[in-house]
Amino acid sequence: MKLLINQSKPWAIVLGLLVLISACGGEKTSEELQEAFQLHEEALKIRQQAEEKVGELVAITDSVFIQTHQADLEALQESLHEWDEQLVEVPGFEEEHDHNHEGHDHHDHNAAPELSPKEHLDIQQHLLAEIKTIAERARQIQP
């Protein structure tokens, strides 16, 4: 019996090390997903601001402004729509959006695809860069 206990001891150490290694690896994964979610939230705020700006511009009734910027405004609206179509959730954060602010548009986000945490981070970085570009295009149009 004593022989069995001594032989199982190395396995307990190996098992403990595996648990420790996986726990440490999980922290990095969680950090990448946390960062991806923060970028996702920032992108949603910028998207909301861009949509509000485009809405204000579309509401302008000045005929010269309309003639000058109608194509730009339609392109911006299309860009926002296309951006919305690309938007994906970050796994583990699907229900953690701040939906309490007034005027928030409740977008239907695409489900989080089966990707690595790094790939999710890359996607959110890309989406943030895209929405910043769209928002800047909207800011450049002056009434």
Residue numbers of the domain that contains 81 = 55-143
In a domain, 64, yes or no: yes
In a domain, 121, yes or no: yes
In a domain, 10, yes or no: no
The 10s digit of each residue's pLDDT in 81-110 is 999 999 999 998 876 655 444 444 445 567
In a domain, 141, yes or no: yes
Total number of domains constituting the chain: 1
The 10s digit of each residue's pLDDT in 10-62 is 444 544 443 434 444 555 668 999 999 999 999 999 999 999 999 999 999 99
In a domain, 105, yes or no: yes
Whether pTM > 0.75 for this model: the answer is: no
In a domain, 6, yes or no: no
Q: Per-residue DSSP letters for the chain? A: -HHHHHHHHHHHHHHHHHHHHHHHHHHHHHHHHHHHHHHHHHHHHHHHHHHHHHHHHHT---HHHHHHHHHHHHHHHHHHHHHHHH-BPPTT-TT-----STT-----PBPPPS--HHHHHHHHHHHHHHHHHHHHHHHH---
Mean pLDDT of 54-77: 96
